[in-house]
Amino acid sequence: MTTPRPEWLPPTQGPLDEKLGIQITDWDPERLVATMPVAGNEQPFGLLHGGATCALVESIGSWAAMLHAGQGGNVVGIELNASYLRGASAGVVTAVCTPARRGRTLATYLVEVTDEAGRATATARLTCMVRPAR
């Protein structure tokens, strides 16, 4: 981890993140990184479930937006677009989230998901409504 979790963030990532095994490994606001195991998150054919991938994207993008909103701020996802490029059937996937635009009321993030070999499994875009602290 190059950038630690800011102390003002809530102490846990949330119950869904815990169920899916999502772990944020770098809290850099310019490049958040998270991992998620494939095991336990597959669809019936043994591939990583698209819904699990979307949850990973929504989670990391929302945390990035929270960093942008700042202490006391709040965010909510309002649009998610994902494209699946390759199936993952084992190991861990890694999501890298970078800002596309961070405005006063909207923030948009691009997320690339890769398998352990570094091959792209999905790309996504998440837009969040930002409610800064008052």
CA distance 59 to 21: 12
Q: Which helix (H) or strand (E) holds 62?
A: helix 50-69
Residue in 69, 132, 133, 131 with CA at minimum distance from that of residue 99: 69
CA distance 107 to 100: 8
Catalytic residue among 18, 30, 42, 58: 58
Asked if 42 is an active-site residue, the reply is no
CA distance 54 to 121: 12
Could you tell me the sign of the dihedral formed by the alpha carbons of 6, 125, 127, 101, in that order? Answer: positive
Side by side, which strands form the sheet with 120-131? Answer: 23-26, 32-37, 92-102, 106-114, 120-131, 74-84
Which residues carry out catalysis?
58
